[in-house]
Structure 1
Amino acid sequence: MSAYGPGSRFGIIHDVFGIPAADKNINVSTHGQNISFEYILKQNPDYLFVVDRDATIGQDGNAKSVIENDLVKKTNAYKNGHIVYLDPGYWYLSGGGLESVPEMMKEIQKAIE
């Protein structure tokens, strides 16, 4: 499991869409910063955006069953229904493409309404 902040591979969420990072000290990286469920609980994000890499590469995607565990259920994101499962095709495979960016924008807009 990895976290991405401003300036990173999925930084568009913060840099363009204006969603504040739960941790302003996340390492900027293409591959993200390795994190644990304890880290998520400690940061207590208001929103948790999830890209299921396994589903993207044709494996059984089970992000929801993994993410929504007892620790994550204590966070503001879970309590307020703000765990957002993003379309991995848009975000992981074609992020930044002419067709994918408008769809990515729709997903974020829907999540924060």
Structure 2
Amino acid sequence: TLIVMVNEGKISAYGPGSRYGGFIHDVAGYKAVDENIEKAKFGQTINFEYITEKNPDIIFVVDRSAVLNTAHDSTKEMFENELVKRTNAYKNDHIIYLDTEAWFYGGGLQSSKKMIEDTNAYWKE
């Protein structure tokens, strides 16, 4: 599993023990595709070649631009490019776009419920 945040065309990854990885990896139990992702506050800057190289089975995506209401192209169109389309996650329709407000501002019961629903999206097949 790879967790990424997209922010105005830039992408960063989050691993175990991080802002998003704490829940997805540590609580929900998804195994990280890369255990060495640095635990930086804003994630580890990556590129699309990194995603292709790691070839995750599942990708969770947080769209930070949407929460900040900044002008940006569609995250899905930008993210699902030719390199990402080579991954198992794309081929098996396992790219999960997280509810950005719940994940970005979360903390209450409703956002926690949405976070659980998002992480269970993979298992609803």
| TM-score interval (norm. to shorter) | over 0.9
Structure 2 residue 34 is the aligned partner of structure 1 residue 23: yes
How many residues are aligned here? 112
Q: Deviations over 1:52-76 (max 9, x none)?
A: 1111111245110111000000000
Supply the AA of the counterpart residue of 1:56: V
Q: In structure 1, what is the Cα distance between the partners aligned to 2:31 and 2:71?
A: 31
Structure 1, gaps ≥5 residues long: none
CA distance in 2, matches of 1:73, 1:49: 15
Q: Which consecutive unaligned segments of at least 5 residues does structure 2 have?
A: 1-10
Partner of residue 82 from structure 1, selected from 90, 94, 101: 94
AA matched with 2:109: L
Q: Structure 1 stretch 98-107 or stretch 72-81: which is displaced more?
A: 98-107
Moved over 4 A (4+): none
Aligned partner of 2:62 in structure 1 is: 51
* Higher relative contact order structure (alpha carbons within 8 Å, sequence separation ≥ 6): 2
Give the TM-score normalised by structure 2. 0.84
- SS of the equivalent of 1:42 reads helix
- Match of 1:65, SS state, is helix
1:10 to 20, 31, 34: 20
What RMSD, in angstroms, separates the aligned Cα atoms of the two structures?
1.2
Match of 1:33 in 2: 44
Q: Which structure is higher in strand share?
A: 2
Q: What is the distance in 2 between the residues matched to 1:77 and 1:47? A: 5
Identity across aligned pairs (percent)?
A: 52
